[in-house]
Amino acid sequence: MYAQMVKTDADRVKSLDEMEPVERAFQQRIDAGEKIEPKEWMPEGYRKTLVRQISQHAHSEVVGQLPEGNWITRAPTLERKAILLAKVQDEAGHGLYLYCAAETLGVSRDDLYEQLLAGRAKYSSIFNYPTLTWADIGAIGWLVDGAAIMNQVQLQKTSYGPYSRAMIRICKEESFHQRQGYEIMSVLASGTEEQKAMAQDALDRWWWPSLMMFGPNDADSAHSAESMKWKIKRESNDELRQRFVDRTVQQAETIGLTVPDPDLKWNEERGHYDFGPIDWDEFWNVVKGNGPCNRDRMKARREAHENGRWVREAAAAHAAKKAARKTAA
């Protein structure tokens, strides 16, 4: 229903002949595989698309700490707790690299925070689902980081230099995250009947929302045509989703879990798994703020921002004092 209301950008994509000389020269650099750096000329649409995507990505990393943060005090062993704590800290670090990359495009971090806290900025739909059991922490690492890395590997080759370099570093950490999640799931799947059931239940709840992380189908993707032309995105939403399904189904089989999709079937001719329809009404409902945890997530972020106000003010006062001392000396 929602998908049919989407207007895509396919008709905005101009051919080289239709472009002004400066824009044509820019596109030729992109076509030749050159990276674009912060102070160089770029079309306003390219800049805006990057600010939108990078800031949504940064917000996702920051909000993405909440579902797992919920389990830090309840992780089953000291070792699991230390690993989870380190992973959640990594997500905060990813948010910081990404806000820095966005700032190189002339926006301020404060404005981006303000957009998130005012509910005007998007973050990934996946972080609006609850983490009900310890197996959900395994499922997040395995499926959510697995989907995130599938998307981010191609972003290492994105045309904007600072984003591409941030992605190279982030991907290294995400691949560790994916493995630790899969390891949690494989331990549970080979444990007691109750543990196996808990792992299966987590897979059942996280599978479809993980497929939604890749965004709408290509035909309904508002920004894909321009983003692919500018090589901001290097592979389409559907291509990446299919690759994720192909890899993950085999991983589920290896540990004896069942992907909750009765239509899932290997298609010899295509060389890929066919899979059932995604519930796009559920996706858009979550994106619009009506998922199971949207309100809780925003409340937690607003409270964290307020509680951190004194730290920001103290740091700013300290920096001002230091600068004044330097000027006086």
For the chain, give the number of residues.
329
CA dihedral 89, 95, 98, 100 (to 10 degrees): -90
Which residues of this protein are in contact with ligand FAQ, per CB under 6 A? Answer: 52-53, 56-57, 60-61, 64, 91, 122, 124-125, 140, 144-145, 148, 151, 212-216, 221-224, 227, 233, 237, 287
Of 196 and 278, nearer to ligand FAQ (C-beta) is: 278
Shortest distance in whole angstroms from residue 125 CB to ligand FAQ: 4
Shortest distance in whole angstroms from residue 220 CB to ligand FAQ: 8
CA atoms within 13 A on the CB side of 313: 6
Of 24 and 171, nearer to ligand FAQ (C-beta) is: 171
Specify the DSSP class assigned to residue 3.
G
Shortest distance in whole angstroms from residue 155 CB to ligand FAQ: 6
168 within 8 A of 254, measured Cβ to Cβ? no
Shortest distance in whole angstroms from residue 149 CB to ligand FAQ: 8
3-state secondary structure of 112: helix
Of 36 and 155, nearer to ligand FAQ (C-beta) is: 155
The continuous run of DSSP H or E covering 274 comes out as: strand 272-274
Q: Tell me which residue has its CB nearest to ligand FAQ.
A: 64
Specify the DSSP class assigned to residue 36.
B
Of 222 and 278, nearer to ligand FAQ (C-beta) is: 222
Of 26 and 241, nearer to ligand FAQ (C-beta) is: 241
**What Rg, from alpha-carbon coordinates, does the chain have?**
21
